[in-house]
Amino acid sequence: MDGTNERNARSATAGGGADAPGPEERGFWDLPPSLRWTTYGVVGVVVLLVVTSLTGVVVVRHSWPETSGRMELDGLDATVEVVRDGAGIPQIYADTTHDLMYAQGFVHAQERFFEMDVRRHATAGRLAELFGEAGLESDLVVRTLGWRRVAEQELTLLEPATRDALDAYAEGVNAYLGDRTPGEMSLEYTLLGLTGLDYAPEKWTAVDSVAWLKAMAWDLRSNVDDEATRAVTAALVGADRAAELYPAYDSEAHPPIVDRGAVVDGVFDPEATETGSRLRAAPGPRVTRALAGAVDVIGNATSLLGGGAGADEGIGSNGWVVAGSRTSTGAPILANDPHLGVSLPGVWMQVGLHCRRVTSACPYDVAGFSFSGVPGVVIGHNADIAWGFTNLGADVSDLYVERVVGDAWLRDGRPRPLVQRLERLEVRGDEPLEITVRATRHGPLLSDLVELDESSDRVDLTSDGLLESVVDAGATLAGAEPDETEGGDRAGWRPGVALAWTALRPRNTADALFALNRADDWTSFRAAMADFAVPGQNVVYADTAGHIGYQATGAIPRRRPGHDGTLPVAGWRSVNDWERRPVPFQALPWSFDPPAGAIVTANQQPVDPDGYPYALGEDWARGYRSSRIADLLDMDQELSVATMQTIQLDDRSAWAATLTPYLMEVGLPAGYYSDGQALLADWDQRQGADSAAAAVFNAAWRQILLHTFDDELPPALRPTDGARWWDVVAGLLERPNSPWWDDVATEEVETRDEILRAAMMDGRDELTRLLSPDPAEWSWGDLHELSLRSATLGESGVNIVERLFNRDGWDGAGGGSLVDATGWDAQQGYGVTTAPSMRMVVGLDDLDAARWINLTGVSGHAFHPHYTDQTDLWARGEYLEWAFSRPAVLRAAEETLVLTPLD
């Protein structure tokens, strides 16, 4: 389709259901199941366009952007240049901040407007207007949470300069829209029009940009899923066995980012250091079912980054910085690669924003990775500093189990009125749906959506989810007395589940993005980060003066003693409420020019809890990636940009080093079944795309997970892959007779060795079925394939339409929780579900020698040369040169578009 090493025929036949793309592979929109069309005319027209190649070319190219020549635009103050290199990456030059942001809005819309439009529909809870009932479940959750309502409130909190930049960006987007028809904006609109959609995009507004920050915060929201699943798992298998599935973080094996954090004296509340008692009780089955329903509802919210927060470390990142004392150039080097869901187009768009003369009136000279729909640069560098983000993973949300009586909720034994509002959802091809959103002081009631599901034949928020698997058993609940949890209707109240989440409290995070782009030293950088409220991030820093640093950011709630955030909370007791103010920014962990000369962040525990006065959370990435990166940095005394690229591509599996000796001890029949075991004998535990041993290991690992846990856990609780399950199984390997090894569906009592043997044999059979009977033809890359799917028309259910927008056929290296973190879902198969969404390495001695690569390309237009042109390089571990100075940008230039004011 686009000449990028596709293997469509094999992909369509290999492996059946086990290899079919799972829901996590659908990309950063992750729309509800299949936007299936029954309009045969659409298929006929598409076939006609393909067969009639000339017409097809005209229609496909109709929406491609103009990238050279001159164009007059109303609203510009002066001339703007858009210089594009061979990868189509735009570098924008302007004289004023207004023109710079205006031009960025115009260029984003040129390349990605359909993506931007779907995003704003998603963040406003209006997908059903475009896609009918297929978008309704997501809309219901987003409307209940009120993302756009919060964004509208945040707009009033922003600095005038931020608001001006957002408005200028919107002007640029709207200049692109102009009098263009939808078909002139994207091929997707053309095909949607053939289904009968009569649609003209609305003008872009500043709120559309701010609302994207809510979606980003949602996908990086930390452990709210784990809170409920911990409780429900305890209900299903008992509290002790459930605890085995959530092992504690090992801070000795995997040191935190900073030992104790640099904390400014005098900011602590003395009571915050008290550990308090951890109250636990066993609520009745009604509460358990309410929590299970809440998990199902959360899973239906649009995931704009892909994978979701419950993706078991798939949504994560690597970021590190080293001081000049440890580099070959004597200057700091910073590296970053965020791990997000795979999607097409990719979540990032590279861009440079340059004031021709940097002044207080036009202070920007910055380049890096942007979100289409949002002005500025999110990750990158300017002329003075570089920065990178990894998800902090702090616990910023809680599920509160409420006692609901009619339109009231109980608080300390007294009824309080529920806050209510009416939401009307327009549904393409159907009648509108009206819902009443109700909320306690803690947040909106997700449980009302479960009741809506049960009473309406139009929505399906819980099917095939956790609710259907819950049995009448006790669960674990924090902050309740044992005699308080029983009752339900018999006690005059019904259990409800409310979501408390810091992102539902308006904050001025957008100010932080622009301040970060302007920062020129450590002081101004930290001042910018003080406003970065959601999502909480680890931010690594380096500057041209030779300094390095780290700052944790985010509005992190202060919980009272007895409430650690790991479990749902009894909302009827005010003692469980959050404190009024979050953890002070001055008290968040940070580090500046540490003696070790390096700072590594990979979503691990941020600070040693001993002596640190605030509880930031419990559910961190397990630390395998951070420990491996630190070890690799210590191996080289003269680190370079090339060294950092090699580290980003490291594919050694720490888990393989632990598990492989056990697999080698398994007795297998000689010949067919021992072939794979023989490959493991001298394996170096690296998971390169061409490794046959890696294929054997991961096939066995998948079967171990399926054999060990699927017999007792419902689908929503079953293991995928990832380091939490590494730690779980590592503990079980030392207990060969653990009940987890036993398959409850058989009369026999299985032990560890029997399960390992079955896993090796079943893994061998699966490799034969998916790849070949001959081990010489096996490779991990053939099994672990990267497929990029458009989450709208790429999930239409019409094969020929999907083939227009989807691309596949890239051999994947790495694996879940490796430094080269290409995650996969053991319940679905081996295909890549999450991956480094970009990679960048910046040496502060020569910014023109920096390197970057995107998962896809700049363009969001199917068949455009820059649709997936960077994916080939990404898959081979290659990088693009990153020109920054104007002379370097001009040397790399292949096209220049000049935007001039309309006379």
Tell me: the pLDDT tens digits for 377-392? 999 999 999 999 999 9
User: What percent of the chain is modeled with pLDDT above 70?
Assistant: 87
Supply 896's token pair.
């220049």
pLDDT value at position 490? 53
pLDDT value at position 3? 38
Please give the DSSP secondary-structure letter assigned to residue 794.
G
pLDDT value at position 298? 85
Burial of 156 (0-12, 13-18, 19+ CB in 10 A): exposed
The answer to whether residue 519 scores a pLDDT higher than 90 is yes
Cis peptide before 90 (omega within 30 of 0): no
* Dihedral over Cα of 751, 754, 756, 758: its sign: negative
Give the phi and the psi of residue 387 in degrees, each rounded to 5.
-150, 155
Query: Rounded distance, CA 99 to CA 82, Å?
Result: 12
- Of 9-23, 229-243, 597-611, 752-766, the range with the lowest mean pLDDT is 9-23
The answer to whether residue 36 scores a pLDDT higher than 50 is no
**pLDDT tens digits for range 803-812:** 999 999 999 9
The answer to whether residue 712 scores a pLDDT higher than 90 is yes
Supply 867's token pair.
């649709």
The answer to whether residue 629 scores a pLDDT higher than 80 is yes
Distance of alpha carbon 175 from the chain centroid = 31
Per-residue pLDDT band at 46 (split at 50, 70, 90)? low
The answer to whether residue 277 scores a pLDDT higher than 70 is no
| C-alpha atoms less than 13 angstroms from C-alpha of 332 in its C-beta half-sphere | 27
The answer to whether residue 538 scores a pLDDT higher than 60 is yes
Average pLDDT, stretch 603-609? 91
Q: Three-state SS for 500?
A: strand
* Dihedral over Cα of 117, 119, 125, 127: its sign: positive
pLDDT value at position 95? 98
The answer to whether residue 264 scores a pLDDT higher than 70 is no
The answer to whether residue 18 scores a pLDDT higher than 60 is no
Query: Rounded distance, CA 691 to CA 780, Å?
Result: 5
- Number of Cβ atoms within 10 Å of the Cβ of 77: 14
pLDDT value at position 222? 66
What value does the mean pLDDT of the chain take? Answer: 88
Residue 711's contacts (CB-CB under 8 Å, 6 or more residues apart) are: 743, 744, 745
Residue 458's contacts (CB-CB under 8 Å, 6 or more residues apart) are: 133, 136, 430, 433
The answer to whether residue 259 scores a pLDDT higher than 80 is no
Average pLDDT, stretch 205-214? 94
The answer to whether residue 438 scores a pLDDT higher than 80 is yes
Per-residue pLDDT band at 637 (split at 50, 70, 90)? confident
Per-residue pLDDT band at 316 (split at 50, 70, 90)? confident
Question: Higher confidence at residue 714 or residue 701?
Answer: 701
pLDDT value at position 311? 42
The residue behind tokens 């809005």 is 105
Beta strands in 426-583 (DSSP E): 433-439, 477-478, 494-501, 537-543, 548-552, 569-570
**pLDDT tens digits for range 539-582:** 999 999 999 999 999 999 999 877 788 888 999 999 999 999 99
Query: Rounded distance, CA 319 to CA 342, Å?
Result: 19
The answer to whether residue 600 scores a pLDDT higher than 60 is yes
Average pLDDT, stretch 170-184? 96
The answer to whether residue 446 scores a pLDDT higher than 60 is yes
Supply 82's token pair.
């858009």
Secondary structure string (H, E, C) spanning 142-155: HHHHCHHHHHHHHH
The answer to whether residue 74 scores a pLDDT higher than 70 is yes
- Which of 609, 26, 708 is CA-nearest to residue 311? 26
Distance of alpha carbon 269 from the chain centroid = 33
Query: Rounded distance, CA 327 to CA 325, Å?
Result: 6
* Dihedral over Cα of 718, 720, 724, 727: its sign: positive
Question: Higher confidence at residue 21 or residue 427?
Answer: 427
pTM for the structure as a whole: 0.91
Please give the DSSP secondary-structure letter assigned to residue 326.
G
Give Cα separations from 762 to 127, 191, 662, 710, 755 (angstroms): 42, 44, 16, 15, 10
Distance of alpha carbon 867 from the chain centroid = 21
Supply 314's token pair.
């798939």
Average pLDDT, stretch 637-646? 95
**pLDDT tens digits for range 457-469:** 888 888 767 887 7
